Amino acid sequence: MTCTVIARDERSVANPRLDIDRWARLAEATADHEGGVGELTLTFLDRCEMAELNAEHMGREEATDVLSFPMDDVATPGVPTLLGDIVICPAAAADQFITHAGTFEDEVALLVVHGVLHILGHDHAEAEQTAAMRGRELALLELYHWGGLAPGGFRQAQD
């Protein structure tokens, strides 16, 4: 059994441009590799919609880059497991990629993998959790995004 990803671009202005299928494949490969079985959604939103979600769910008034909403903890026989929803704001990714991942594509890839790992139960509230999650992110990006070692200039930590 595997993970199914339903991806959609709900931005009013498709700028920056995205290859939605590419990011859905990365999310699916990541979830499958990590043992995720079920369905998850991957949605790209404008800055305003992301700010509303961030305020509603995290109590922060600004747009953030990625939010993850895990769902079902236990599978019900005969009913598809809903793993959760990942929401990404490409405008936020465009604002931060130079001082973070290095390229826009690497930034989006990092956000997709980061979101999937959150859906599957990873967290970064404590230093030990952060180290473990970053290790998984890097390994998955090297395997499914770059097909080799991370490029020079790639960073997971934000300033």
| CATH code: domain of residue 113 | 3.40.390.30
Residue 152 lies in a domain: no
Residue 105 lies in a domain: yes
Q: Is the pLDDT of residue 56 over 90?
A: yes
Q: Which tens digit of pLDDT belongs to each residue from 22-50?
A: 999 999 999 999 999 999 999 999 999 99
Residue 113 lies in a domain: yes
Q: Is the pLDDT of residue 14 over 90?
A: no
Residue 134 lies in a domain: yes
Number of folded domains that form the chain: 1
What is the predicted pLDDT for the residue at 75? Answer: 64
Residue percentage of the chain with pLDDT more than 70: 94
End-to-end CA distance of the chain: 39
